[in-house]
Amino acid sequence: MIATLQCTVIDCPEPAALAGFYREILGGEVDDSDPDWVWLAPPAGARFAFQRVYGEYRPPRWPDPEHPQQFHLDFDVPGIEDMAAAQERVLALGATLLHDSGGERSGFRVYADPAGKPFCLCYGQG
């Protein structure tokens, strides 16, 4: 092993807003003392850093290869019965549904966060 994961850095136009979006999903504390580099420390797992992009920001367009997703995050929900409630919450926070793998009892759903980056809510995928 060479190193351990310190954090995942996500480029975005509004770091504090995007950190707040992911805090609602994961919990934890946000440090927005530097508005260009905002930290999220969830109660479990690695930290996230949200870095301001100056100039033209080009969000990914899943699954368009002309605008690749750059990265995405998968979040496990406790049970398949929790998918609907989880979807309702992320949509209320500003996410957009991009793909549902099969209806009410699907194993994963793809969303875009408020900055246009894809993430998935998953059950039984990992």
pLDDT along the chain (126 residues), means of 10: 80 96 97 97 93 89 81 83 90 94 73 91 70
CATH 3.10.180.10 positions along the chain are 1-53, 61-126
Q: Which CATH number fits domain 61-126: 3.40.50.720, 3.30.70.2520, 3.90.930.12, 3.10.180.10?
A: 3.10.180.10
Structure tokens at 66: 């002309």
Start-end of H helices in the chain: 15-26, 83-92
Residues 6+ apart with CB under 8 A from 19: 30, 32, 38, 39, 40, 48, 50
At 16 the pLDDT is 98
Question: Which CATH class for the 1-53 domain?
Answer: alpha beta
At 126 the pLDDT is 47
